[in-house]
Protein backbone atom coordinates (compact mmCIF):
# COMPACT_ATOMS: atom_id res chain seq x y z
CA UNK A 1 0.00 0.00 0.00
CA UNK A 2 1.33 3.42 -0.97
CA UNK A 3 1.81 6.26 1.50
CA UNK A 4 -0.69 9.13 1.38
CA UNK A 5 1.90 11.60 2.69
CA UNK A 6 5.53 11.83 3.76
CA UNK A 7 6.72 12.46 7.30
CA UNK A 8 9.70 14.49 8.46
CA UNK A 9 10.84 14.36 12.08
CA UNK A 10 12.63 17.47 13.26
CA UNK A 11 16.02 16.98 14.90
CA UNK A 12 14.80 17.96 18.37
CA UNK A 13 12.24 15.14 18.33
CA UNK A 14 14.65 12.61 16.83
CA UNK A 15 17.07 13.40 19.67
CA UNK A 16 14.36 12.99 22.31
CA UNK A 17 13.18 9.71 20.78
CA UNK A 18 16.70 8.32 21.12
CA UNK A 19 16.24 8.30 24.90
CA UNK A 20 12.93 6.42 24.85
CA UNK A 21 12.88 2.67 25.48
CA UNK A 22 13.68 0.87 22.22
CA UNK A 23 10.34 -0.97 22.02
CA UNK A 24 8.40 2.26 22.64
CA UNK A 25 10.41 4.01 19.91
CA UNK A 26 9.73 1.12 17.51
CA UNK A 27 5.99 1.25 18.21
CA UNK A 28 5.89 5.03 17.71
CA UNK A 29 7.67 4.73 14.36
CA UNK A 30 5.40 1.84 13.35
CA UNK A 31 2.29 3.91 14.16
CA UNK A 32 3.63 6.89 12.21
CA UNK A 33 4.25 4.67 9.19
CA UNK A 34 0.83 3.03 9.56
CA UNK A 35 -0.90 6.43 9.73
CA UNK A 36 0.58 7.37 6.35
CA UNK A 37 -1.23 4.43 4.76
CA UNK A 38 -4.59 4.18 6.55
CA UNK A 39 -6.94 6.74 8.06
CA UNK A 40 -7.20 5.90 11.75
CA UNK A 41 -8.24 8.61 14.24
CA UNK A 42 -6.68 6.52 17.01
CA UNK A 43 -3.26 7.18 15.41
CA UNK A 44 -3.56 10.71 14.00
CA UNK A 45 -5.96 13.32 15.34
CA UNK A 46 -6.45 17.01 14.56
CA UNK A 47 -6.05 19.20 17.66
CA UNK A 48 -6.24 22.73 16.25
CA UNK A 49 -6.53 24.26 12.81
CA UNK A 50 -2.76 23.76 12.32
CA UNK A 51 -1.62 21.10 14.80
CA UNK A 52 -2.11 17.34 14.59
CA UNK A 53 -1.31 14.66 17.14
CA UNK A 54 0.28 11.27 16.45
CA UNK A 55 -0.87 8.90 19.20
CA UNK A 56 0.83 5.80 20.56
CA UNK A 57 -0.01 3.76 23.64
CA UNK A 58 2.72 1.37 24.76
CA UNK A 59 3.37 -0.30 28.09
CA UNK A 60 0.82 1.80 30.01
CA UNK A 61 2.30 5.04 28.63
CA UNK A 62 0.65 7.50 26.23
CA UNK A 63 3.22 8.95 23.84
CA UNK A 64 2.20 11.98 21.80
CA UNK A 65 3.97 13.67 18.92
CA UNK A 66 2.60 16.97 17.67
CA UNK A 67 2.93 17.83 14.01
CA UNK A 68 1.82 20.16 11.23
CA UNK A 69 1.40 19.97 7.47
CA UNK A 70 3.70 21.55 4.94
CA UNK A 71 0.90 21.88 2.41
CA UNK A 72 3.09 22.56 -0.58
CA UNK A 73 4.73 19.16 -0.28
CA UNK A 74 2.02 17.07 1.41
CA UNK A 75 4.56 16.57 4.15
CA UNK A 76 3.75 16.36 7.82
CA UNK A 77 6.43 17.65 10.16
CA UNK A 78 6.74 16.18 13.63
CA UNK A 79 7.92 18.96 15.91
CA UNK A 80 7.44 17.92 19.54
CA UNK A 81 7.09 14.76 21.65
CA UNK A 82 5.82 14.26 25.18
CA UNK A 83 4.26 11.67 27.46
CA UNK A 84 0.62 12.43 28.08
CA UNK A 85 -0.36 12.22 31.75
CA UNK A 86 -3.71 14.00 31.71
CA UNK A 87 -6.92 13.72 29.71
CA UNK A 88 -6.33 16.98 27.82
CA UNK A 89 -3.32 17.76 25.68
CA UNK A 90 -1.27 20.36 27.62
CA UNK A 91 -1.70 23.84 26.16
CA UNK A 92 2.02 24.57 26.53
CA UNK A 93 2.80 21.61 24.21
CA UNK A 94 0.35 22.90 21.60
CA UNK A 95 1.87 26.39 21.87
CA UNK A 96 5.37 24.91 21.52
CA UNK A 97 4.26 23.13 18.33
CA UNK A 98 2.68 26.36 17.00
CA UNK A 99 5.93 28.24 17.64
CA UNK A 100 8.00 25.56 15.88
CA UNK A 101 5.55 25.62 12.96
CA UNK A 102 5.86 29.39 12.65
CA UNK A 103 9.66 29.17 12.83
CA UNK A 104 9.70 26.40 10.18
CA UNK A 105 7.71 28.47 7.69
CA UNK A 106 9.74 31.63 8.38
CA UNK A 107 12.94 29.72 7.59
CA UNK A 108 11.35 28.15 4.53
CA UNK A 109 10.22 31.55 3.21
CA UNK A 110 13.68 33.07 3.78
CA UNK A 111 15.77 30.28 2.32
CA UNK A 112 13.30 28.27 0.28
CA UNK A 113 14.50 25.29 2.28
CA UNK A 114 13.87 24.72 6.01
> Does some domain include residue 93?
yes
- Condensed to tens digits (0 to 9), the pLDDT of residues 1-18 reads 788 889 999 999 999 999
Measured CA distances, 66 to 26, 73, 101, 111, 112 (Å): 17, 18, 10, 24, 23
> Does some domain include residue 78?
yes
> Does some domain include residue 34?
yes
Instruction: State the pLDDT at residue 73.
Output: 66
Domain with 90, as residue range(s), is 6-111
Report the CATH number that the domain containing residue 27 is assigned in CATH.
3.30.2310.20
The domain tally of the chain equals 1
- Condensed to tens digits (0 to 9), the pLDDT of residues 67-87 reads 999 986 678 999 999 999 888
Read out DSSP for 16-73? HHHTS-HHHHHHHHHHHHHHTTS--TTTEEE-SSS-EEEEEEETTEEEEEEEEEEGGG
Run of H or E residues at 96: helix 91-111
> Does some domain include residue 56?
yes
> Does some domain include residue 23?
yes
Instruction: State the pLDDT at residue 72.
Output: 64
- Condensed to tens digits (0 to 9), the pLDDT of residues 16-72 reads 999 999 999 999 999 999 999 998 989 999 999 999 999 999 999 999 999 999 986
> Does some domain include residue 10?
yes
> Does some domain include residue 1?
no
Amino acid sequence: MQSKFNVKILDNVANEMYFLPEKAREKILYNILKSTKVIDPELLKKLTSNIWEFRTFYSNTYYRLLAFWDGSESLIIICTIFIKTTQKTPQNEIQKAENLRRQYFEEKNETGNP
